[in-house]
């Protein structure tokens, strides 16, 4: 099997860095994702496909061809014509066809698609909306068969997650646009009054504040009603604003109502012949906007998390754990803090994959990640280094203290119930800052050396 001609691994990091510019341009975001996919995985063609509601058709929303730097769309695949491929999609797992022409999941494409285009390998990662599969991001390697690495799969999964987020933002933007149009068409609630009387109002004001027309005869009753249905802190803030600007000033403040709604209120003096005769209040319901802002902040947090987390285990990914290790080393030099690095490898992991399948192997990786998070200290940093290897940065821990911590983790792993579906152990190598090196490279090299010593010594041990 052949390897890709040229990877550009930093393409994904660059996309994550500039992602915010695409928040208002979902179609541009999809094109950026397919281009990044082609460059990051070193494939000729990358595309995003979406399922219809019945999951009977798969439509290409963007196909990028790297050599021609060309985008296209519109191709439709039908489940009736490709039953094996659609059955593979229904498992909602990544399809890594290293030999696309003969893999049972993708060989249906051979005669009409793969062979004519010279496609030797396919890597399809699922795109989800919530827990529901909505499509795939496809990576098409032109050339001979190709072995997809763990990094390839991880990068494909990350790009699939970005595509999922893009679709969610696009759907939310469409809903928000409709709600905004509706709000604008109904207008704002208007109330004009002097110190004693209501001078004017509109129907929208009555609807927003759920008032009877009779109540509008007395301005003090209107003020009391607004105060009764507004959060006390909001009332205090708005009153302070009006007091500060005086009768001739304008104010804009936000009122949080006791029923959960949020109004923006503008207050301006009402002038007749340049004389102030009262004030005009306009109220705009901004509840939807506030919720949308909150949702967008949550989406930004999710995107940041995607950039630093391993898609399978939820631990820090390799790039981020190495950044954290470097920061911890620098901080240790300043504070005089002890620091130990552990490099961990799950024993006989290849045998688990070979005998039980990759789904069982993935389950072991997720289980081990949870075990580490439950057993280690809150100050310890844990990341997936690659494959079945993990890195732990134990701050404020000399070598022997770190060994005791990991020994407790190792013993606890072996003491779990015997009826577990897959039992496993791990080996670890330790390296301490100062004694074993002063840089991430030096510490990891020493930890790796001791890890292999643990392996040679019989595994299931810490050196």
User: How many Cα atoms occupy the beta-carbon half-sphere of 198 within 13 Å?
Assistant: 19
Of 43, 27, 29, 166, nearest in space to 97 by CA = 43
**Can you tell me the distance from the alpha carbon of 421 to that of 357, in angstroms, rounded to the nearest whole number?**
13
Is 388 buried (19+), middle (13-18) or exposed (0-12) by CB count in 10 A? Answer: buried
User: Exactly one of 92, 108, 388, 389 is catalytic; which is it?
Assistant: 388
Residue from 427, 426, 421 nearest 359 by CA: 421
Question: For the chain, percent helix, then strand, then coil, each to nearest 5?
Answer: 50, 25, 25
Q: Strand, helix or coil at 354? A: helix
Partner residues linked to 280 by β-bridges: 192, 268
Q: What element of type H or E holds 392?
A: strand 389-395
Rounded CA-CA distance 455/463 in Å is 9
327 catalytic, yes or no? no
For 37, residues 6+ apart whose C-beta sits below 8 A from its C-beta are 43, 46, 64, 137, 139, 155, 156, 159
Report the C-alpha gap between 204 and 191 in whole angstroms.
10
Handedness of CA 358, 360, 361, 365 (dihedral sign): positive
Q: Are 336 and 394 in contact (CB under 8 A)?
A: no
| Residues comprising the chain, all counted | 463
The crossing angle, in degrees rounded to 10, of helices 26-41 and 150-186 is: 170
76 strand-pairing partners: 59
Alpha-carbon distance of 402 to 413, in angstroms, equals 17
Which residues are part of the catalytic machinery?
388
């Amino acid at each position: 099997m052949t390897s890709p001609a040229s990877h550009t691994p930093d393409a994904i990091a660059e996309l994550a860095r500039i992602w915010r510019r695409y928040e208002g341009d979902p179609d541009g975001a999809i094109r950026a994702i397919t281009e990044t996919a082609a460059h990051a995985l070193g494939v000729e063609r990358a595309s995003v496909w979406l399922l219809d509601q019945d999951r009977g058709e798969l439509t290409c929303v963007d196909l990028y061809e790297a050599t021609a730097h060309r985008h296209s769309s519109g191709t439709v695949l039908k489940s009736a014509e490709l039953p094996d491929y659609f059955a593979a999609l229904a498992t909602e797992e990544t399809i890594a066809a290293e030999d696309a022409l003969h893999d049972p999941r993708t060989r249906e494409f051979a005669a009409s698609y793969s062979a004519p285009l010279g496609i030797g390998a396919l890597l399809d990662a699922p795109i989800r909306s919530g827990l529901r599969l909505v499509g795939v991001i496809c990576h098409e390697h032109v050339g001979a068969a190709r072995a997809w690495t763990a990094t390839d799969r991880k990068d494909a999964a990350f790009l699939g997650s970005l595509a999922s987020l893009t679709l969610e933002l696009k759907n939310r933007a469409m809903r928000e646009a409709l709600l905004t149009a509706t709000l604008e068409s109904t207008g704002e609630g208007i109330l004009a009054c002097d110190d004693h009387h209501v001078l004017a109002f509109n129907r929208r004001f009555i609807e927003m504040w759920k008032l009877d027309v009779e109540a509008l005869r007395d301005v003090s009753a209107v003020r009391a009603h607004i105060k009764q249905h507004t959060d006390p802190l909001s009332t205090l803030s708005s009153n302070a604003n009006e007091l500060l600007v005086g009768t001739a000033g304008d104010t804009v403040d936000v009122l949080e109502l006791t029923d959960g709604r949020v109004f923006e209120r503008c207050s301006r003096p009402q002038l007749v012949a340049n004389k102030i005769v009262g004030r005009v209040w306009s109220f705009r319901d901004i509840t939807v906007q506030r919720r949308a802002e909150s949702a967008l902040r949550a989406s930004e947090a999710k995107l940041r998390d995607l950039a630093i987390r391993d898609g399978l285990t939820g631990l820090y990914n390799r790039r981020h754990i190495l950044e954290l290790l470097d920061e911890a080393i620098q901080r240790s030099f300043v504070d005089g803090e002890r620091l130990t690095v552990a490099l961990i490898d799950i024993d006989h992991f290849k045998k688990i994959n070979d005998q039980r399948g990759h789904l069982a192997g993935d389950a072991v990786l997720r289980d081990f990640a949870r075990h580490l998070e439950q057993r280690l200290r809150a100050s310890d940093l844990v990341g997936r280094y690659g494959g079945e290897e993990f890195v732990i940065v134990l701050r404020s821990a000399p070598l022997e203290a770190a060994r005791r911590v990991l020994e407790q983790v190792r013993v606890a792993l072996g003491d779990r119930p015997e009826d577990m579906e897959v039992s496993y152990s791990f080996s670890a190598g330790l390296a301490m800052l100062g004694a074993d090196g002063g840089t991430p490279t030096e510490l990891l090299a020493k930890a790796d050396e001791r890890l292999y010593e643990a392996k040679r010594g019989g595994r299931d041990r810490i050196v």
